[in-house]
């Protein structure tokens, strides 16, 4: 019986987490800065825009041959830190702390291995960031 109770508790925890995530539509910047060739599928064939947003994903059906419902770029405290991982320019060294990275006025994200965790923010030369507020 104990195993069954633990299993039921785990299922309820997962369902609770899904409810918390559901409905958190990503910002326009998190979606628009994702290049089509780097989109990672977040849906299923025939998913609607509303269903996609309910999953917390981006939707753009204007380009064929790539996922229309896709995972957004990660949200950072600063819009200048929202970029694809392939665009990161190293601003630190292996093992740099968040505190030291921020002291260098750089962005820090340790979520993805094998890419710089401390990286330079992207410059705002176009004024595009004025429209990208969270």
26 and 68 together in one domain:
yes
Selection from 82, 67, 81 nearest residue 33 by Cα: 82
67 and 85 together in one domain:
no
* Total domain count, the chain: 2
Domain that holds residue 60: 22-73
- Per-residue pLDDT, averaged over 10-14, amounts to 41
Is residue 2 situated within a structural domain?
no
91 and 120 together in one domain:
yes
Q: What are phi and psi of 91, to 5 degrees?
A: -120, 5
Of the two residues 11 and 114, the one the predictor is more confident about is 114
Is residue 3 situated within a structural domain?
no
Give the pLDDT score at 22: 47
80 and 49 together in one domain:
no
Of the two residues 14 and 30, the one the predictor is more confident about is 30
CA neighbours closer than 13 Å in the CB half-sphere of residue 44: 2
80 and 120 together in one domain:
yes
- What contacts 110, CB < 8 A, 6 or more positions away? 98, 117
Is residue 129 situated within a structural domain?
no
For residues 125, 128, 131, 133, the Cα torsion angle rounded to the nearest 10 degrees is -70
Q: What is the pTM of this model?
A: 0.49
Is residue 40 situated within a structural domain?
yes
Q: What are phi and psi of 41, to 5 degrees?
A: -55, 135
Is residue 7 situated within a structural domain?
no
- CATH number of the domain where residue 90 is located: 4.10.110.10
**pLDDT, tens digit (0-9, with 9 covering 90-100), for 93-115:** 999 998 898 888 888 888 788 88
- What contacts 89, CB < 8 A, 6 or more positions away? 116, 119, 120
- Per-residue pLDDT, averaged over 65-87, amounts to 80
Is residue 92 situated within a structural domain?
yes
């Amino acid at each position: 019986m104990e195993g069954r109770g633990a299993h039921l508790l785990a299922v309820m925890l997962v369902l609770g987490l899904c409810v918390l995530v559901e409905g958190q539509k990503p910002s326009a910047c998190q979606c628009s800065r994702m290049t089509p060739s780097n989109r990672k599928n977040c849906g299923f064939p025939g998913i609607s825009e509303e269903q996609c947003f309910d999953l917390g994903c981006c939707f753009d059906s204007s380009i064929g041959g790539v996922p229309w419902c896709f995972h957004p770029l990660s949200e950072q405290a600063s819009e200048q830190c929202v970029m694809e991982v392939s665009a990161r320019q190293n601003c630190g060294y292996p093992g740099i702390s968040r505190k030291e990275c921020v002291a260098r006025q750089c962005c820090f994200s340790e979520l993805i291995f094998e890419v710089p965790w401390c990286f330079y923010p992207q410059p705002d030369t176009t004024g595009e960031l004025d429209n990208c507020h969270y």
